[in-house]
Amino acid sequence: MPLSRRTFLGGAASLRGAVAQPAEIIDVHTHFYDPSRPQGVPWPSKSDSLLYRTVLPRHFQALTQRLGVTGTVVVEASPWLEDNQWILDLAKENPVIVGLVGNLTPGAPEFRQNLTRFHKNRLFRGIRFGADALAGGGQFLDDMKFLADADLALDAGGGPTNAPHLLRLTDRIPALRIVINHLPGERPAEDPIGEFAQRPNIYAKVSAVLRHDGDRIPTDLNFYRESLDRLWSVFGADRLVYGSNWPVSDLFGSYELVLKVVREYFAEKGAVASQKFFRGNSLAAYKWTRGS
Chain segment 59-108, per-residue pLDDT in tens: 999 999 999 999 999 999 999 999 999 999 999 999 999 999 999 999 99
Per-chain mean pLDDT for the chain: 90
Give the residue from 152, 157, 180 showing the smallest Cα distance to 241: 180
Distance of alpha carbon 238 from alpha carbon 277, whole angstroms: 8
> Is 133 contained in some domain?
yes
Residue 164 lies in a domain: yes
Give the number of domains in the chain: 1
C-alpha to C-alpha distance for 269 and 274, rounded to whole angstroms:
7
Is the model's pLDDT at 174 over the cut of 60? yes
> Do the domain assignments include residue 168?
yes
pLDDT given for residue 1 in this prediction: 40
Q: Look at residue 93 and tell me if it is in a domain.
A: yes
Which of 131, 127, 148, 142 is CA-nearest to residue 81? 127
Q: What percent of the chain has pLDDT over 90?
A: 80
- Confidence category of residue 280, pLDDT binned at 50, 70, 90: very high
How does pLDDT run across 197-206, given as a tens digit for each residue? 999 999 999 9
Report the pLDDT value the prediction gives residue 188, as an integer from 0 to 100.
Answer: 64
Predicted local confidence at residue 23, as pLDDT: 75
Long-range (24+ apart) CB contacts under 8 A made by 113-119 are 114/81, 114/84, 115/146, 115/147, 115/150, 115/152, 118/84, 118/85, 118/88, 119/150, 119/152
The CATH number of the domain holding residue 87 is 3.20.20.140
Residue 74 lies in a domain: yes
Taking the model in full, what pTM does it have? 0.90
- 260 is in which domain, residue-wise? 24-286
Closest CA to 77 of 119, 132, 127, 122: 127
SS3 state at 138:
coil
Answer yes or no: is 218 within a domain: yes
